[in-house]
Amino acid sequence: MKRKIVAVMLASTMVLGLAACGGGDAGTTDTTGGDDATATTEAGGDDADVKEGSSDDENTLTVWTWDPNFNIYAINKAAEIYAQDHPGFKVEVSEIQSDDIETRLTTAVSAGDLSTLPDIFLMQDNSFQKYATNYPDIFTDLTDSGIDFSQFSEAKVAYSTLDGKNYGIPFDNGAVIECLRTDMLEKAGYTIDDFTDITWSDFMEKAKVVKEKTGQPILTSQAGSPDLVMEMLQSCGQSLFNEDGSVNIKDNKALKPILEIYQQMVADGTLVEVTDWDQYIASINNGTVAGVINGCWIMASIVANDDQSGQWAVTDMPKLDDVDGATNYSNNGGSSWAITSNCKKVDLAVDFMNSTFAGSTEFYDDIITKGALSTWAPAGDSEAYAQPVEFFGGDAVYAKIVDFSTKTPSNITGAFYYDARDAVGVALSNIIQSGADMDSEIQTAQETVEFNMGG
Amino acid sequence: MSDQKKKGLSLAKKHNLTGWAFLLPATLLICWMSFYPMIRAFILSLQTGMGVNLNFSGFSNYTRILKDPTFKQTLFNTFFYLIIQVPIMLVLALMFASMLNNKDLKFKGLFRTCIFLPCATSLVSYAMIFRSLFANDGFVNMVLRSFGLSPIMWFGNAWTARAVIIIALVWRWTGYNMVFYLSGLQNIEYSVYEAAKIDGASPMQTFFKITVPLLKPTILLTTITSTNGTLQLFDESLNLTNGGPGKSTMTMSHYIYNTSFVQSPNFGYAAAMSILILIMVAILAILQMKVGDER
């Protein structure tokens, strides 16, 4: 008899163990957190290091975000500043990549169980409309929370606003910058001024000279990634959607000229395509290319290579030649904080946000060293922004970028932003890599998005 | 009363009951973890809408599949992998198995382990390793260069990207199938081979006239599991090529995932596509059984 009992117990622990493994697999997250992350990250039960659900402690808030050097650093710093006036306050940060946060949100809502959500999470601006439209239930409406949204740039607040309701607290800024290697420009007889406030046709000519003199292409791009194309689109105030939400790919005035520029630069050898993100960063750091155009957060990766200190300079991106409303400014990336509907301490969370991300110049002065640029207007006046940065040749790059961001045209994202972005990526990839016909690819992209919206 | 009943239970019945008792936990678990979700998925496939705003709409998701060019593309990709990769892999596995079955071979255990080892690696990590091997400045191109050949942009072209996926799949799964063949081979009496040898049969003849026919049930099993696995291929498509360039290497499962989690979420449509894969797997399995089973 005893044996039987032992056997049953063993068998049941095995079954339970298997079940637990299955559950754990789906939820394990990449937790390669740096020092900043591990400092306040606490293991959350059996599920790797992810803390699920609202915290029981009334002075603790749980947070999901990514990037130890950037977002995690910022939220920990904010907590540190807030704790000075509110002893005992702390945040429990779980490092989760942005797309994993999105998958987790989707899963929680689909399962009808929001109790796994943290108090606060960070969301990419480009995804915000999709989630606010499809799953309004996960957000706490912040419209009348006391946060003064008028102090943030209007275009930025628009990302997290749906039907007049504010669902997010704007955080960092993705103003597009053009970073160039001054030492390589010199070899080609140029200075950074020759690349400031210019048009794409001018840029392409100069890029050819740089290529000729140094052998280096001026730009790098991840094959199939529409980042650069999307940045160029927004620089002329164009979106893949119209105001009424209909798809604006086929009749988009700017898209075809942009694709032609891209195609021409690949043909000239002035734009090199790499396979994945790691190679993209490597191409910047190991001197394969003479420059890069991307959101200002790319600075964090550029400064990672100390050896190149003083060899880089920052300027604005080229603008399109014959398109109405074209500017030298655009945006890529940037994100906003959201307070979930699962948060039991909304007052605390709002007060925390209001005293830091929406109310502390001290806070923004600190995180600027990480390249986290504020979209909160009062922070831009601070002296910290006017400091020269040695890495970029002693230029006051932060003030420059704040200036770019105020001039950036806004764009329309909507719930189907990623569907459209993907479709353009596929078109780009087919045109560049398989030599497909541009017009028919643009037509296909339009049809793909319309098909997805028809479901 | 109860005593009488107990006595009434014959030995055969008792045996049956014990059998059922052993089957019960597994059956319940399968029903709960497998069949119940399947039924829910079918119900979901009859609904349309974005996110959680779902409405019943009959079979409109299924008619929608027929009009979806992306699904057709992923269907083509998946069947391309199936038709090219499965035969290559199974033939290779069979060759390895019969080589390793040779009684005079030394270090048999070592070779067996080496060939089976890829199977023990995680799907994601091996996909990442293959990605870096075949990167523009990766190991494979380095080797090509050292032989004076021009490097290939493996992930830049639809056909080379598909080739990489097939190479990766063959590397990962050949050993797995080989183990099935090895165990099948071990059940074949050695005396049969000896008899063939005495009768003067060449190694080729022994292979085709003895090994293959006697292994038929195993070959059938591996064909069905491989077909099944290839139709549900996901990890390689996502991690190795991310479906690119364009959508030229994307598998059906990857597209289903994108429909649910990358694009604006359309769970009803994703469920409908999953059900369609289920039906395809079932049909192929039945066909293979009909062809392979000659009882």
CB within 8 Å: B268 and A110: no
Whole-number percent of chain B with pLDDT over 90 = 32
The 10 Å Cβ neighbour count of residue A386 is 12
pLDDT digits (tens, 9 = 90+) for A272-326: 988 778 888 889 988 889 999 998 888 888 888 888 888 999 999 999 988 888 8
Among candidate residues A141, A119, A177, the one with its CA nearest the CA of residue A333: A177
Q: Is the pLDDT reported for residue B186 higher than 80?
A: yes
Average pLDDT over residues B180-197: 87
Closest partner CB to A455 (pick from B64, B244, B245): B64
pLDDT digits (tens, 9 = 90+) for B197-214: 888 888 888 888 888 888
Separation in Å, CA of B213 to nearest CA in chain A? 38
Give chain A's domains with CATH numbers: 32-173+334-381 (3.40.190.10), 176-330+391-453 (3.40.190.10)
Q: Is the pLDDT reported for residue A30 higher than 50?
A: no
Name residues whose C-beta falls within 8 Å of residue A201's C-beta, 6 or more positions apart in sequence: A321
Residues of A in contact with B263 (CB under 8 A): 416, 418-419, 422, 452
CB within 8 Å: B244 and A223: yes
Residues of A in contact with B25 (CB under 8 A): 15
> For residue A108, what is the nearest residue in chain B, using CA coordinates?
B52
Average pLDDT over residues B141-149: 90
Separation in Å, CA of A160 to nearest CA in chain B? 16
What pLDDT band is residue A48 in, cutting at 50, 70 and 90?
low
Q: Is A179 helix (H, G, I), strand (E, B) or coil?
A: strand
CB within 8 Å: A451 and B262: no
How far out from the chain centre does Cα A39 lie?
Answer: 24
Whether the CB of A106 is below 8 Å from some CB of chain B: the reply is yes
Q: Is the pLDDT reported for residue A5 higher than 70?
A: no
Predicted pLDDT of residue A37: 33
Chain A to chain B Cβ contacts (< 8 Å): 97
Predicted ipTM of the assembly: 0.75
Separation in Å, CA of B52 to nearest CA in chain A? 7
Separation in Å, CA of B247 to nearest CA in chain A? 7
Beta bridge partners of A60: A90
Average pLDDT over residues A94-108: 88
Residues of A in contact with B267 (CB under 8 A): 110
CB within 8 Å: B246 and A279: no
Q: Is the pLDDT reported for residue B258 higher than 80?
A: yes
Average pLDDT over residues A18-27: 37
* CATH class of the B68-292 domain in this structure: mainly alpha
Whether omega before B69 lies within 30 degrees of 0, making that bond cis, reads no
Give strand ranges (E) for chain B. 47-48, 55-56
pLDDT digits (tens, 9 = 90+) for A406-435: 888 888 888 888 889 989 999 998 898 888
* 3 state SS for B87-131: HHHHHHHHHHHHHHCCCCCCCHHHHHHHHHHHHHCCHHHHHHHHH
CB within 8 Å: B264 and A273: no
CB within 8 Å: B51 and A135: yes
Interface test with B, best of A221, A451, A452, A453 (most B CBs within 10 A): A452
Across A27-36, A241-250, A312-321, A356-365, least confident range: A27-36
Average pLDDT over residues B100-108: 82
Predicted pLDDT of residue A2: 56
Residues of B in contact with A419 (CB under 8 A): 263-264
Separation in Å, CA of B277 to nearest CA in chain A? 19
| CA–CA separation, A35 and A69 (whole Å) | 9
Residues of A in contact with B51 (CB under 8 A): 109, 133-135
* Lookup: tokens for A407: 């001039």
Q: Is the pLDDT reported for residue A339 higher than 90?
A: yes
Whether the CB of A433 is below 8 Å from some CB of chain B: the reply is yes
At B266, which amino acid appears? N
Interface test with B, best of A25, A225, A426, A438 (most B CBs within 10 A): A426
Predicted pLDDT of residue A16: 47
CB within 8 Å: A455 and B262: no
List every span in chain B annotated with CATH 1.10.3720.10: 68-292
Residues of A in contact with B266 (CB under 8 A): 452, 455
> For residue B250, what is the nearest residue in chain A, using CA coordinates?
A426
Q: Is the pLDDT reported for residue A9 higher than 60?
A: no
Please report, to the nearest 10 degrees, the dihedral formed by the alpha carbons of residues B256, B262, B266, B269 taken in order: -20
CB within 8 Å: B25 and A15: yes
What pLDDT band is residue B294 in, cutting at 50, 70 and 90?
low
